[in-house]
Amino acid sequence: MARVLLVEDDPDIRTTVIRQLSEFGHSVRSAGTALTALREATRDPGDVIVLDLGLPDLDGSEALKMLRAVTRTPVIIATARDDEGEIIRLLHAGADDYLVKPYSSAHLAARIAAVLRRSGAGAAPTVLRVGGLEIDPRRRQATLDGGRLDLSRREFDLLAYLAARPGEVVTRRELLSEVWQLPYGDDQTIDVHLSWLRRKLGERASRPRYLHTVRGVGVRLMEPADTGPTEPSP
């Protein structure tokens, strides 16, 4: 699994790529502008950045220069521009690969794997571990203290997204965007899935072990302070 920062202004393309890369087991964050991407990369660039050139605030070539000033994370240019001279110029400017639209999800996933092999980042563990939780995004399996968790597709996606960011407060807006692939929505949707997930983890909102609500902000998944057994789910 790779942590991918997708920089793409088209919401339809962004949603499709997020879904497809998630199906390949990758954890994907997204940005619709160059400046948002720069802020995200400064905070946490992840393992690879997929960068579109046609951004609304800055041309992607300028965005590449700015990204290179703050991170050495591999950058794959993904764009409809297919001019050979520009491809060569951007590769010399710091891009690690160049992919011309339209492309298949398998093609992009293969390019990501190749870039990570070259950078050495591909050796990162594929199984996420937080306390007694183990989440395998490739096999879409999760266990708690060695016991298999029976999760729905959305519950698994939610748990895996949070487990990839242990201790980090993830906002509800980010969860709607990155897990549900929705630009907006009802917070009750998140609350319902968190409630189901808590029950399967053997905890309650009033006595959290892994899932901690930060009132007015979002939720974070943390390794429990105690080492005792979980409560049986009803």
Our measurement of the distance from residue 81's CA atom to the centroid of its chain's CA atoms, rounded to an integer in Å, reads 26
Measured from the Cβ of residue 111, the count of other Cβ atoms closer than 10 Å reads 20
Domains in the chain: boundaries? 3-123, 128-221
The whole-model pTM stands at: 0.55
pLDDT tens digits, the chain, 234 residues: what are they? Answer: 789 999 999 999 999 999 999 888 899 999 999 999 999 998 888 899 999 999 999 988 899 999 998 888 999 999 888 888 888 889 888 899 999 988 888 899 889 988 888 776 544 446 889 999 999 877 788 999 999 999 998 899 899 989 988 888 888 888 887 788 776 666 788 889 999 999 999 999 889 999 999 988 889 999 998 645 554 444
**CATH H superfamily, domain 3-123:** Response regulator (3.40.50.2300)
- The domain defined by 128-221 folds into Arc Repressor Mutant, subunit A (1.10.10)
193 and 154 Cβ atoms separated by less than 8 Å = yes
The position carrying tokens 């630009």 is 183
